[in-house]
Amino acid sequence: MSVNQQAHTGPPYGQPQPGYQGYQQPAYGGQPLPGVPQSQYGAYNGPMPGYQQPVPPQGSLRAPPTSGAPPPASAASLPSSHLAYSQFGHGDVQNGIPASAAPMQRPPASQPFLPGSAPTPVSQTSTFQQYGPPPASVQQLSNHMAGMTIGSTTASAPPPAGLGYGPPTSIPPVSGSLSATGSGLYTPYTASQGPPPTSVSQGLPLAQPPFPGQPISTQRLPTQVPGFAPPPSSTGIGPSSYPPTTGAPRPPTMPGPPLPGQMVAGPPTSQPNHVSSPPPPSAMSGPHPGPPMSGLHGPPPPTHPPQPGYQMQQNGSFGQVRGPQPNYGGAYPGTPNYGSQPGQPPPPKRLDPDSIPSPIQVIEDDRSNRGSEPFVTGVRGQVPPLVTTNFLVKDQGNASPRYIRCTSYNIPCTSDMAKQSQVPLAAVIKPLATLPPEETLPYLVDHGESGPVRCNRCKAYMCPFMQFIEGGRRFQCCFCSCVTEVPPHYFQHLDHTGKRVDFYDRPELSLGSYEFLATVDYCKNNKFPSPPAFIFMIDVSYNAVKSGLVRLICEELKSLLDYLPREGNMEESAIRVGFVTYNKVLHFYNVKSSLAQPQMMVVSDVADMFVPLLDGFLVNVNESRTVIASLLDQIPEMFADTRETETVFAPVIQAGLEALKAAECAGKLFIFHTSLPIAEAPGKLKNRDDKKLINTDKEKTLFQPQTNFYNNLAKDCVAQGCCVDLFLFPNQYLDVATLGVVTYQTGGSIYKYAYFQLEIDQDRFLNDLRRDVQKEVGFDAVMRVRTSTGIRATDFFGAFYMSNTTDVEMAGLDCDKTITVEFKHDDKLSEDSGALLQCALLYTSCAGQRRLRIHNLSLNCCTQLADLYRNCETDTLINYLAKYAYRGVLGSPVKTVRDALINQCAQILACYRKNCASPSSAGQLILPECMKLLPVYLNCVLKSDVLQPGLEVTTDDRAYIRQLVTSMDVAETNVFFYPRLLPLTKADVDSDSLPAAIRNSEERLSKGDMYLLENGLNIFVWVGVNVQQGLIQNLFGVSSFSQISNASNTLPVLENPFSKKVRSIVDMLQVQRSRYMKLIIVKQEDKLEMLFKHFLVEDKSLSGGASYVDFLCHMHKEIRQLLS
């Protein structure tokens, strides 16, 4: 998400950091405190155990836990009481300012939070007031808060523009919203703020209690992640933000951050997810006496206010802790009480998951801040809303973020700065992206026979950034500065500002995206193209026939052929169709309209493929309708008794290619294939699957094609404009890495249905096929990205072929495909002129029209690293990093690729810490506001099946995912790596909206609820063992949990509000994704639950992936090593 939202910042981590001396945390380096059990996580971040929660204000917070009992280990259902937090819960809390108020801008770089203390956003007033000592118990809190007040600096700087998050910049919100009141409870956090940061310092005992009442140092740290915060004061944690220990006992209710010493309820990272943690240390009621840890390093943070300049530190600091997320059930009510007695030092604990940056919070904040206003593209270098936010775009000179998203909208002026930051400069471009109905499609401009006006030198196309001079007779190129004469037919006078008077009448002068009608010079062989053709090539071997697949395909094609893509107002599609069936030999069909019956011609010499007929193979659907219908009826019958199990594959592609060559047109092959092609023929493959290669230097061979044959075939296909879409139905190893080569290099799509069963997979396959046949696609496409002087495109990722270093060639490019382009400096840039990109795509439309689609984007340039970090888009960065890593596995061991990713990320964050964050203890993890989700998302990429496969993941699955991700857009990688998890039982059956999402962790699940998880490929409906019988009856039509069948992959259509609501949610999600997701029903404690848990990406994975909390600690350690 871009992190432009205000994410909430969690409290700084106060936990001991790895590596902090002084503590040896268990996992993180602190030492366990005696006597204290480690905590396993308390149950779901509930309130800290032991404290009761404050009363939720407005009822929205969760109620205080009711008992001290530890929550059930499993994710038990949360009592309703806890629901309370939901309002504010993560989801809503914003970092600082209440959403409404917050300016969109991202706060300046980061603000530190004190550990534990985030300033409270007190009522958002700018200053935090300290709360006077409230009642004792409260008082502690307050002190704590006070400390939190970090920096009471008032929010001084407004967040820089553009940020979407966060509290006013300078202040980190406290996490709670404490009111200044002294009341004992923390006041509930207001939505905008989360509960006080937990102190993530937790594991450290408090060293010395801060003085009560006094505000702890006010400086605010950037977002620090709690655990990272330096340990408590003495330990170096930020001023202690913990309430002083002394003195007043903590209010029990406070959900606030635990005292430093206390543990956070969150599950310890390392532990299994659900464990409930042992009780935390005492409720912290007394001060902890523990000796201050001397070992921690770092003096307590200073108390003086941060230096000016930095206040924004909030940035990444996790200042507030957020309460449970909205809608996550709160902690269990009874969180354990951390049983220590008061007074004893708290055991070292792990970071509280609620105190670290929450993707849900960031997404929610961006939605509330930026979802209501249209995104107007007239200003250079504006960071768009996150991909998860629904917003309208008004094109006023820069391309919509639906077409282009960048990793940063403010790029360094020099290559040295770029190298220092290690932030990759990349654009994810989706040239034919589908727009919502309320937005206007790019206008088509026809300049007649002279064609588009271009720069004489660099050949850039006319765009809004070209400068007209000499009264409009010439223009200066914004890319290369060359001056070009304006053709007489294009001349127009300038107004008093130097703009042409027809500025608003010409899309190419006023809009960021538009199309030109191409002239014959832009066509192959200087000849206008013919309309494209679709050839359906069906495997009729034994498996395909026996499974019912052949009959299903033939039945569907009868109706689907009426929905071929067509140009806007055309009566019928111009696309012609042809049919081939194959096993060890190929069968071509003549379906000429004049025939009474289709004719079959067999080609058995697969070594020298040719097309046995020209006339009658590619036909117009309407003209040959009856012959085609007859053929589709006959194919299943003809092969019903086949015994042929072997198939060929390469000759099938060659046949389609030859047919398109003969017809002199581009087109697409739809190949339906079931098994490894072992029959004697070109491109024959052997089964080379070998799980023993995993984690060895030879693992990369599993991702590489077995033979070069397919690379050469792909090259021939691209030259002809022959795109290949592949539908695979494997029952065993099929070698997707090799079969997918042609699809991948021609810009096609692969769909895979393992162990295809008609009743289960039919809907998914048919929906995918329908969408694939109907979607907008351009043929014979060539894309070039031009840049202004100073940077150039150096690297490209996606499904395409490149025969030189600048032109991206695609036999087909559809509306779902993206091309990711990386830029490098080749000179200095200037802050005044910024940097420009122009993506030009030349393609043939489905009606055979040659067009140029142009997208322009202007970016800012900076001489200060803080400006770079303030304008990054984490979702786009992750999209780029995943693609970079997924390409890396082709040539390097997976471990090398993983380590390089971690190292690059650590360098990005260390550079920020060193150059942009205000000075603070090394114990604090400080993240830039708009990159605060980089660690959690990067960890998801590292744990993905390609880079860290579980035992059940097949080699084919990994190759399939690798190819799929390479051409995904930012919205798709976002939900793929960090799935969306929705509590169905919280859905409002009377509204059209989705229930608020919750974080991807088992500790957020309650046994009494049902949840839906989607990642763009699958939808899981998880049913807890204690779900009310009425809900089970309403959704599944059975009377008890035990009767729910997880063999079914559809929800029954039942006439009740809950069933309708859940089905409408599923339908809504299906429409948003480019593929039809497989619905999987998972019952808690069932064997399928392991698969489901694989997608709970904040938890530790079975394949060895770290939990979010552990990874954050690891990242912090890496950053500290780089800084030292």
Rounded Cα distance, 142 and 136, in Å: 9
pLDDT tens, position by position, 540-583: 999 999 999 999 999 999 999 999 999 877 889 999 999 999 99
Model pLDDT, residue 920: 85
Model pLDDT, residue 394: 97
pLDDT tens, position by position, 742-776: 999 999 999 999 999 999 999 999 999 999 999 99
Instruction: At 813, give phi and psi (nearest 5°).
Output: -140, 120
Consecutive H or E run containing 955: helix 955-966
Angle at which helices 970-977 and 874-888 pack, to 10 degrees?
Answer: 80
DSSP state of 138: H
Check: pTM over 0.85? Answer yes or no: no
Asked if residue 1111 lies in contact with residue 352, where contact means CB atoms within 8 angstroms, the answer is no
| pLDDT mean over 239-246 | 38
* Residue of 293 and 438 predicted with greater confidence: 438
How far is the first Cα of the chain from the last one, in angstroms, to the nearest whole number? 31
pLDDT tens, position by position, 879-935: 999 999 999 999 999 999 999 999 999 999 999 999 999 888 888 899 999 999 999
Residue percentage of the chain with pLDDT more than 70: 69
pLDDT tens, position by position, 463-508: 999 999 999 999 999 999 999 999 999 999 999 999 999 999 999 9
CA dist 852 to 221, 434, 1074, Å?
A: 50, 17, 24
In terms of Cα–Cα distance, which of 391, 369, 389, 384 is closest to 93? Answer: 369
Instruction: At 594, give phi and psi (nearest 5°).
Output: -80, -10
684-710 residues labelled b (16+ CB within 10 A) or e (exposed): bbeeeeeeeebeeeebbebbebbbebb
- Largest Cα span, the chain: 97
> Is residue 154's pLDDT more than 60?
no
Rounded Cα distance, 43 and 52, in Å: 14
Rounded Cα distance, 1073 and 1068, in Å: 9
Instruction: Give the up-direction half-sphere exposure of residue 491: CA atoms within 13 A in the CB hemisphere.
Output: 9
CA dist 536 to 582, 589, 673, 747, Å?
A: 11, 11, 11, 17
- The set of residues, in sequence order, having a beta carbon less than 8 Å from that of 974 and lying 6+ positions away, is 1, 387, 388, 875, 878, 879
Rounded Cα distance, 220 and 199, in Å: 14
In terms of Cα–Cα distance, which of 1074, 1077, 1061, 1020 is closest to 763? Answer: 1077
Asked if residue 50 lies in contact with residue 335, where contact means CB atoms within 8 angstroms, the answer is yes
What's the alpha-carbon Rg for the chain, to the nearest Å?
30
> Is residue 705's pLDDT more than 80?
yes
How many Cβ atoms sit within 10 Å of the Cβ of residue 678?
16
pLDDT tens, position by position, 496-515: 999 999 999 999 999 999 99
Rounded Cα distance, 450 and 851, in Å: 14
pLDDT tens, position by position, 43-78: 333 334 344 444 444 434 444 444 444 444 443 344
Burial bucket for residue 454 (CB in 10 Å: 0-12, 13-18, 19+): middle
Strand spans (E) along 644-762: 667-673, 722-728, 750-752
> Is residue 106's pLDDT more than 60?
no
Asked if residue 960 lies in contact with residue 424, where contact means CB atoms within 8 angstroms, the answer is no
**Confidence band of 398 (pLDDT split at 50, 70, 90):** very high
**Pairing between strand 835-844 and 777-787?**
antiparallel
Asked if residue 912 lies in contact with residue 869, where contact means CB atoms within 8 angstroms, the answer is yes
Question: 511: helix, coil or strand?
Answer: coil
> Is residue 98's pLDDT more than 90?
no
> Is residue 241's pLDDT more than 50?
no
Rounded Cα distance, 646 and 680, in Å: 9
Instruction: Give the up-direction half-sphere exposure of residue 1031: CA atoms within 13 A in the CB hemisphere.
Output: 19
Rounded Cα distance, 94 and 79, in Å: 25
> Is residue 10's pLDDT more than 90?
no
In terms of Cα–Cα distance, which of 225, 222, 217 is closest to 108? Answer: 222
Rounded Cα distance, 983 and 1064, in Å: 14
Asked if residue 131 lies in contact with residue 103, where contact means CB atoms within 8 angstroms, the answer is no
Model pLDDT, residue 243: 39
Tokens of 1094: 């694989």
| pLDDT mean over 449-455 | 96
Tokens of 342: 């008061």
In terms of Cα–Cα distance, which of 1066, 1096, 1070, 1068 is closest to 1081? Answer: 1066
Asked if residue 997 lies in contact with residue 91, where contact means CB atoms within 8 angstroms, the answer is yes
